[in-house]
């Protein structure tokens, strides 16, 4: 693992195996997000194009609902950095409005709504190419102490 000047892994390096976004996870989703500001509120917003295969199937032809929740969790978590906050998901609600198809470009978006102290409230949506809303989520993220993130995860220490 690359090291910074202090020979300690950076947070990005620690997050390299994130199932949804980590480049170092061979079985991950490898999501990539573009970041911008909401045109009306100026709040951070992120977007990604997702096109998933049958590895992620739930109902035949459609994305598994747990994977859709993963997409929303990850998209909303990406809003924390532009808010200069390290935070973890505390609560999330998902509405599955229409089945979300495999093998199609879908647009995943998330936007920061408001902050109350340590509590960050975000929202997220999944649309198809025609602009139909397929699923949506609301998330509560809580700012954490960086010391909660272990810096020395290895398979040996995890018992594998």
Ligand X SMILES: CCCCC/C=C\C/C=C\C/C=C\C/C=C\CCCC(=O)SCCNC(=O)CCNC(=O)[C@H](O)C(C)(C)COP(=O)(O)OP(=O)(O)OC[C@H]1O[C@@H](n2cnc3c(N)ncnc32)[C@H](O)[C@@H]1OP(=O)(O)O
The neighbour count for residue 150, using CB atoms within 10 Å, is: 8
- Report the catalytic residues: 73
Structure token digits, residue 115: 């902050």
Q: CA 116: distance to chain centroid?
A: 21
Measured CA to CA, the distance from residue 40 to residue 120 in angstroms comes to: 19
Q: Give the pairing of strands 44-50 and 34-37.
A: antiparallel
Question: Which residues of the shown chain bind ligand X in the complex (CB under 6 A)?
Answer: 11-12, 14-15, 18, 21, 73-74, 77, 86, 88-91, 119, 140, 142, 144, 149
Q: Which residue, 23 or 61, has its beta carbon nearer to ligand X?
A: 23
Q: Which residue, 90 or 98, has its beta carbon nearer to ligand X?
A: 90
Q: Whole-number minimum distance, CB 10 to ligand X, in Å? A: 8
Q: Whole-number minimum distance, CB 14 to ligand X, in Å? A: 6
Strands (E), 57-97: 87-96
Q: Whole-number minimum distance, CB 98 to ligand X, in Å? A: 24
Measured CA to CA, the distance from residue 80 to residue 75 in angstroms comes to: 10
Q: Which residue, 74 or 134, has its beta carbon nearer to ligand X?
A: 74
Structure token digits, residue 3: 């090291």
């Amino acid at each position: 693992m690359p090291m910074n000047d202090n020979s300690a892994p950076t947070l990005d390096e620690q997050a390299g195996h994130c199932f949804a976004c980590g480049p170092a996870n061979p079985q991950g989703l490898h999501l990539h997000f573009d970041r911008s500001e909401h045109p009306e509120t100026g709040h951070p917003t992120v977007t990604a194009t997702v096109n998933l295969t049958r590895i992620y199937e739930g109902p035949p032809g459609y994305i598994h609902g747990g994977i859709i929740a993963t997409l929303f969790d990850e998209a909303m978590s990406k809003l924390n950095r532009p808010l200069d906050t390290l935070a973890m998901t505390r609560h999330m609600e998902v509405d599955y409005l229409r089945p979300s198809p495999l093998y199609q470009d879908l647009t995943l978006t998330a936007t920061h709504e408001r902050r109350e102290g340590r509590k960050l409230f975000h929202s997220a949506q999944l649309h198809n190419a025609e602009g139909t809303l397929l699923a949506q989520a609301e998330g509560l993220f809580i700012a954490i102490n960086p010391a909660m993130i272990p810096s020395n995860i290895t398979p040996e220490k995890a018992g594998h």
